[in-house]
Structure 1
Amino acid sequence: MANWGLTRKQIIMLIVLVFGTFVTVLNQTVVAPALPSIMSEMSVDAAVAQWLTTGFTLVNAIMVPITAFLTDRFTTRRLFLASMVLFTAGTALAAWGPNFPVLLAGRLIQAAGAGILMPLVMTVLMWTFPIDRRGTAMGVFGIVIAFAPAAGPTVAGIIIDQANWHVMFWIIAVLCAAVIVFAAAALERGGKTNKDVKLDVVSVALSTLGFGGLLYGLSAIGSYGVTADSAGGVVIGAIALAFFFRRQLRMEQPMLQVRVLTNRRFLIATIIVMLVQGALLAGGILIPILLQSYMGFSATTSGLVLLPGAIVMGAMGPVAGRLFDKHGPRVLAIIGTGVLALTTATFMFMGPGMGLITLTVIYTVRLFSLSLVNMPISTWGMNALPDKLMNHGTSVQNTFRQVAGSLGTAVIVSASTVATNMVSGSTDAVTAGVFGIHAAFAVATALCVLGFVLTVALVRNKPGDEAAADEDNAHRSLIERIMKRDVYTLPENATVLEAMQLLVNNHISAAPLIDAAGKPTGFISDGDIMRYLSKRGQMIMDPVVMIVQTVDAYSDHKDYAHKLEHLMGMKASDIGAKGIIGVSVHADLPEVCRVLGENHLKKVPVLEDGVIVGVINRSDITHFSMEKYLEERGA
C-alpha cells in the first residue's frame, strides 16, 4: 500500500468504496444459482422467478438518468450512505422473504440503491484522489469490481448447498451494514450541490410505467397466456413509452437525451448491443435451472459452470480494446455475433446426457464471443457522436442495454414456460422442462442471428467516420498541432539491414512498414531484431535479458556471425509485427490517450484515409497539456 503513494485515510476510503461496490455487484449475480430453490420453495415457474433478475436490471436502467439529478442535488457522502442504506434494507427484506412478492420487493429496493451507487462511486473516486493518484485508485477498483460477477454464482452456490438462499442474503445484508458504519466515519462530505436543479417527475413516471408495463405483460403471457392483464400491460407500456419519447424530444433538457438516436451509426450500434444483451442474460437464468432442476446437480456445481465464462469475459475487456484499435469493429463484431449465434444454437440440443465439461466450454465460449461484440460495437457507435453529446450517448446506451436485458430475458424465459406447458400433458416433467429450455434458446438464437445479419450488412470500418463526427475539423486542428510530421517509414519489402540503418541513423526504436499506396501494413522494432538473435527465438523477454543473451550467443557460438548475416538479408516484414495500431487525424485527444494507454504504447501513428501523416508521442500530449494549463492559469 505504501508503494501506491496513498495516505492512510485515502487507503481506508478506497477500501470502503471498493468493498461497498463489490458487495452490490456481487449481489447481481448471486440470484441465478438460487432460482431453482426459490421456484421450488415458493411454487413459481421460471417466467415468474426471472422477475428477480429482470426486475432488478430494469430498475437499474430507470435509475441511470435519475442518478444524474441526484448527484447534482445531494453531496456524494450523503448520497453514498443513502444508497447503501436503501440497498441494505432491500437485502434484509429479501433475506426475510416469506413469499415471492416480498422477495421481489426486496430485490427492487436493492436495485434502486445499486443503481445510484455504481455511477456515484466513480464520482467519489475522482474528487477524493488527486490526478496523480487516480490511476492507482481506478486500477484497484476495476480489478475488484471485475472479479465480483465471476465470484457471485460460485459463492452463492456454496452457501445455498451448505445452508439456503435466505442465509445468502443475510450475509450480504451484514456486509452492507458494516460498509455503512465505516463509510459514515471515513467519507468526506465532497461535491457541490445545486438546489435549483429539478427532476422531471413526469418523465420518470412514464419510463417506469412504460418499461415496467412491457416487462409485466411479456412475463404474464409466459405464465398465463394472453389474458386481459398481460395484454393490458403490453399496451399500457407501449403507450407510456410513446409519450415518454415524445416528451424527451420536446424538452430542452430531457431526462434522457434520445435525440442521439437520430445518428444512424449510433442507432445501429445500440440496436445490435440490445439484441446481444437480450439474448445473453437469459442463459444465466436457464443454465442453473437446467443443471439443478433437470440434471440433478447442486447449486455449487451450477455456479462453477458459470465461473470460467465470467472470468474470461472480464479478462477480455482490455484485449478487445486492443483488437478494436488494430482491426476496427467489423471483423470483431462479425466473429463475435457469429460465434454467439452458433454457441446459443448449440444449447438447443443439449440435455441431461450432456457432460459438464462440454456444457462449461460452450457457455465460456459464448461469453468470450460477447466480449468481441459489446465493447467494439459500443465504441464504434459512440465515436459517431460529437463530444458535446458523448455523455448523453453513454446514458442512452447504458439504459437501453439494461432494458433490453430485462425485456429479452422476459421474452426468452416466457417462451420456455409456454413450450413446457404445451408438452407437459404428453410427457414427463423433466422432458417437458428440457424441451422448454430448448425453445427458449431457439428464440435467443434468432436474436443473435438478427444481430449477426445487422453487423454484416451495416457495420463498416469507414475511414470517413471520424471525419463526419469532427465538426468544423476541431479535432483535426488539435491533432495536427500536437503531432510530429517527420515520420520515418520503410517500404514493406525492405530488408532487415535497411531497417537497422534507418533505426540507427535516426535514433529511433521502431518504424512502420508501408505499401505502394503509403498505407501501413506492419512495423519493425529493435526488439523484433533482438528477439530473433536471442537464444530463445521469438519468446517475449525483458530487453536487458535479450541483450545479455545476444552477447553470450556471440561469444559462445561461432555461427553467430552467419546467423546475423542471414538476418540482414531477410525481409523486415518476416520478423516484424503484422498490422498497425493508429489513430485518425480526426480523433479527439481522450481517444488518443486511450489508444496509447490501453495498448501500452509510447507513440502512435496518425492516419488520414489510411495513410500515415504524423506521429504522436506520450510526451507530446504531456507537454501540450502543461502548456495549456500554464497558459490558462496565466490568463
Structure 2
Amino acid sequence: MKLTSKQKATLVVLIFGTFITVLNQTLVTPALPSIMAEMSVSASTAQWLTTGFTLVNAIMIPVTAYLTDRYSTRNLFIVAMLIFSAGSACAGWGPNFIILLAGRLLQAAGAGILMPMVMTVIMLTFPPEKRGFASGLFGIVIAFAPAFGPSAAGFIIDAYNWHVLFWIIVALSLLVILASIFTLERTSMTSKDATLDTISLFQSTAGFGSLLYGLSSIGSFGLNPIDIAITLVGVVVLVFFFRRQLRMDSPMLQVRVLENRKFLIGTVIGMLVQGSLLAAGILMPIYLQTYLGYSATVSGLLLMPGAILMGIMGPIAGRLFDTHGPRALSLVGMTLLTATTFMFAFLGDSTGLIFLAVVYTARMFSMSLVNMPITTWAMNALDNDVINHGTSVNNTLRQVAGSLGTAVLVSVSTAATGMASSSTDALHAGIFGVNAAFFASGILCLAGLIMTIGWVKDKPGDAAACDPRNERRTLLESLMKRDVFTLPETASVFDAVQLLVEKRISAAPIVNAKGKAVGFVSDGDIARCLSKRRTTYTDPVALIELTNLSSDDFDVKTDKIMSQSVLEIAHRGVISVDIHTDMREVCRVLGENHLKKVPITENGALVGVINLSDIAHYSMSKYLERHGADAQK
C-alpha cells in the first residue's frame, strides 16, 4: 500500500521538524570560538551553551511522558515548536551571553518535548504496515543532521556570523509550525487523570543544575566556599530526589530499575561514553580555531566524516550485535575509543589535519560499536513491565552525564591552561589544557573499558536470568514453530538442495554436533554459485533460468558445486534470539535485519523458529480482544 497524500505531508513535516532540532544541537559547536571572542567569555563559560542544553533535555524526558498523556499530540507538537522558535529567536538576538544562554535553554525545552513527540505522532498517524517505512526515514534524517550541521555552520560563520545560524533556524521552525497547523490531524486522546509531581521536578532541576554549576565553577575559578557549597547542595538535593522516587508509587523517574546490576553497568558505561562524546565536540573546534588558527569551515568539515560514519554504522552495529552479541562489539569499541582518546592527549601546535580527521573519525566509529550494543544489553536485562521506565532512566542519565562530563572536562582544560600559563606562552598553555582534558577523558574511557571487560558478557544463561517468571519464554514458545529443518555442518551443497526441494523451504540453518547453529544457507546462496561467471543473481529466479540451460559447462560446474561442503557457500554466523528474549527485542531483530523469520535458541542450541507473520497475527488478535472487550463495556 502506498502512502496517502495526507500521510506523505505529515511525514515531511515531522521529518523536517526533527531535522531542524537535531541540526540545531550541532550548529553551536563550530560557533563556540567566535562566541568566546565576541562576548569575551572563557571556554568553561561558553560550554554552558551545550551542557545547559543537554541538561534541560534530560529534565524534559520524564516530563514529556506526562505531557503526552495530558495534551493532544497535535497541540503539543505545535507548542513545542513555538517554544523552540522563541528560544532560537532569543539566541539569534543574543546581545550578551546571558540572553544567548536563555535562548539555548528555551530551545532545549522545546526540543526535549519534540523528539519523543515525533515518534508518538508517527505511531498514531500511520497504520502498523507503514510505520516501518516512516520510522526508517526518520532514522536516516536523525543520522544525517549531525553530519551536515558542523560543516554548514562553519561556512555560515565564515561568510556571515554566528547570529545568522539561529535566525535561519527561526525561519525554518516557523515554516514547520505553519505546515503542521494544516497537516497534523486533530486528536482528543488525552488523560485528564495524568499528574506531574512538581516536588520531583523541582528536586531534579535544582539538584542536577546545582551540581553542574558547582563543578563547572570550581574548574574555572578553583576551590572556594561558595562553589563548594553549591555543589554539596546539588548532591544533597539529588539524594532527596532519588529517595523520593524510591518511595513513590508512580515516580517521575523509576530509579528502582538501577537495582538491576546489568542495567546499572550498561547505563554507567553509556554515561561515560556520552560525556566523552560531547566534550570532544567542544574541545576540537576550540583547538582548531583558537589555537591552530583554522576557519570554522575547516573545523566543521573535519568533524563531518566521523558524524557520517557514526550514522552509517547504526544499523550495521545492530546487525553485528545480533550475530556476535554485546561483548565482542563493546570490547572492540571501548578499546578503540580509549586508544583514540589518549591519542588526542598529545596534540601540538603543528599537528596535521589529516591525522586529526582520521583519529576523530576512528573515535566516532568506536562509539557506534559501543552505544547500541551496551544500551540493548542493558535494556534486555529488565523485566517486561519496567522496560519503559528503563528507557527513560537510561536516556535521562546519559543526557545528564553528557552535561556533567562536558562541564568537568572543559573545567579541567581551563584549570590546566591556567597552571601552564605561568611557564609558557598563551598558545602552548591552551594546547596543554586541551591535552589535559583529553587525558582525563581517556581515564573515563579506560574505566568504561575495565567495566566492559569485567561485566559485559553474552553467556547463554543471561537471557534466562532476566526472565525469572518465564513470561518471555512462554510467549515465544506459544508462537514459534518447533519443526525446524536443519543441515549438519558436514552436509554438502547437494544435501542442502535436496532438503530445500523436498521440504519446500527457502532456507535452513546449519548446526554442529551439539545442535548449535553455525551457519545459514538459502536458495539465493545456491543460485549465486550456479550463476554464469559474468552475471550475478541474488534471488531464486536464477535457479529457474539456469535449469533451462543445457550447456555441458553448466553441468560440469553444477556437479562440482554440488559436491562442495555447504559451509563453503553458506553465511557463517546466524542471527538468532534466545528463548527468553523479550518480544520487543525479537521484533527489533526482525525489523532491523529485514528478516521474515529468526531461529530460537536455548543455551545456544536451536529449538525452533519464529515467523514475522505469526507475531503480526498475535498482535492483531490481542488488539481485537482488547478493543472487543472495550466495545462490550
TM-score normalised by the chain length of structure 1: 0.95
- Correspondence for 1:396: 393
* Alpha-carbon distance change, 632 to 96 in structure 1, aligned in 2, over 3 angstroms: closer
- Correspondence for 2:219: 222
Spell out the pairing of 1:250-261 with structure 2 (5 A cutoff): 250-261=247-258
- Correspondence for 2:156: 159
The one-character-per-residue Cα deviations of 1:464-489 (angstroms, maximum 9, x if unpaired) are: 22222224222222211211111111
Aligned residue among 557, 573, 576 for 1:582: 576
- Correspondence for 2:363: 366
The one-character-per-residue Cα deviations of 1:516-564 (angstroms, maximum 9, x if unpaired) are: 2111111222222222233449x97432674488569x656x4433332
Gaps of 5+ in 2: none
- Correspondence for 2:9: 12
The alignment status of 1:500 with 2:494, answered yes or no, reads no
Preserved CA contact (<8 Å) 1:510 1:524 = yes
- Correspondence for 1:99: 96
The one-character-per-residue Cα deviations of 1:161-181 (angstroms, maximum 9, x if unpaired) are: 100001111111121122222
* Alpha-carbon distance change, 542 to 502 in structure 1, aligned in 2, over 3 angstroms: closer
Aligned residue among 530, 533, 541 for 1:533: 530
CA distance in 1, matches of 2:620, 2:110: 40
CA distance in 2, matches of 1:555, 1:373: 52
- Correspondence for 2:598: 604
- Correspondence for 1:624: 618
Aligned residue among 290, 299, 302 for 2:299: 302
The alignment status of 1:413 with 2:410, answered yes or no, reads yes
Aligned residue among 171, 183, 186 for 2:180: 183
SS of structure 2 residue aligned to 1:30: helix
Preserved CA contact (<8 Å) 2:511 2:518 = yes
Spell out the pairing of 1:204-215 with structure 2 (5 A cutoff): 204-215=201-212
- Correspondence for 1:122: 119
CA distance in 1, matches of 2:351, 2:243: 50
Preserved CA contact (<8 Å) 2:523 2:539 = no
* Alpha-carbon distance change, 630 to 20 in structure 1, aligned in 2, over 3 angstroms: closer
Spell out the pairing of 1:445-464 with structure 2 (5 A cutoff): 445-464=442-461
Count the aligned residue pairs. 629
Preserved CA contact (<8 Å) 2:72 2:187 = yes
Aligned residue among 547, 557, 568 for 2:562: 568
Spell out the pairing of 1:430-579 with structure 2 (5 A cutoff): 430-536=427-533, 541-543=537-539, 546-547=542-543, 550=546, 558-579=552-573
Letter of the structure 1 residue corresponding to residue 615 of structure 2:
I
The one-character-per-residue Cα deviations of 1:161-208 (angstroms, maximum 9, x if unpaired) are: 100001111111121122222222332332422233221111111111
Aligned residue among 63, 76, 82 for 1:66: 63
CA distance in 2, matches of 1:6, 1:195: 33
SS of structure 2 residue aligned to 1:542: coil
Preserved CA contact (<8 Å) 1:127 1:190 = no
* Alpha-carbon distance change, 160 to 604 in structure 1, aligned in 2, over 3 angstroms: same
User: 1:127 Cα deviation (Å)?
Assistant: 1.6
The one-character-per-residue Cα deviations of 1:49-103 (angstroms, maximum 9, x if unpaired) are: 1110011000000111111111122222221122111111111111111111111
The one-character-per-residue Cα deviations of 1:404-451 (angstroms, maximum 9, x if unpaired) are: 011011111111111111111221221111111110100010011110
Spell out the pairing of 1:320-331 with structure 2 (5 A cutoff): 320-331=317-328
Letter of the structure 2 residue corresponding to residue 61 of structure 1:
A
Percent identity over the alignment? 61
- Correspondence for 1:272: 269
Preserved CA contact (<8 Å) 2:600 2:606 = yes
CA distance in 1, matches of 2:67, 2:618: 35
CA distance in 2, matches of 1:541, 1:282: 48
The one-character-per-residue Cα deviations of 1:242-265 (angstroms, maximum 9, x if unpaired) are: 110011111111100000000111
User: 1:590 Cα deviation (Å)?
Assistant: 2.5
Letter of the structure 1 residue corresponding to residue 342 of structure 2:
A
Deviates more, 1:310-319 or 1:13-22: 13-22
CA distance in 2, matches of 1:633, 1:595: 28
User: 1:619 Cα deviation (Å)?
Assistant: 2.6
Aligned residue among 380, 383, 397 for 1:383: 380
Aligned residue among 23, 27, 33 for 2:20: 23
Deviates more, 1:37-46 or 1:121-130: 121-130
- Correspondence for 1:134: 131
SS of structure 2 residue aligned to 1:373: helix
The alignment status of 1:199 with 2:193, answered yes or no, reads no
The alignment status of 1:110 with 2:104, answered yes or no, reads no
- Correspondence for 2:426: 429
Gaps of 5+ in 1: none
SS of structure 1 residue aligned to 2:470: helix
* Alpha-carbon distance change, 627 to 402 in structure 1, aligned in 2, over 3 angstroms: closer
* Alpha-carbon distance change, 368 to 388 in structure 1, aligned in 2, over 3 angstroms: same
- Correspondence for 2:47: 50
TM-score normalised by the chain length of structure 2: 0.96
Preserved CA contact (<8 Å) 2:527 2:537 = no
* Alpha-carbon distance change, 477 to 545 in structure 1, aligned in 2, over 3 angstroms: closer
Letter of the structure 2 residue corresponding to residue 543 of structure 1:
D
Deviates more, 1:123-132 or 1:88-97: 123-132
- Correspondence for 1:289: 286
CA distance in 1, matches of 2:623, 2:391: 28
Deviates more, 1:561-570 or 1:388-397: 561-570
* Alpha-carbon distance change, 560 to 434 in structure 1, aligned in 2, over 3 angstroms: same
Deviates more, 1:620-629 or 1:330-339: 620-629
Deviates more, 1:4-13 or 1:156-165: 4-13
User: 1:398 Cα deviation (Å)?
Assistant: 0.2
Preserved CA contact (<8 Å) 2:333 2:366 = yes
Q: CA RMSD in A?
A: 1.9
* Alpha-carbon distance change, 246 to 463 in structure 1, aligned in 2, over 3 angstroms: same
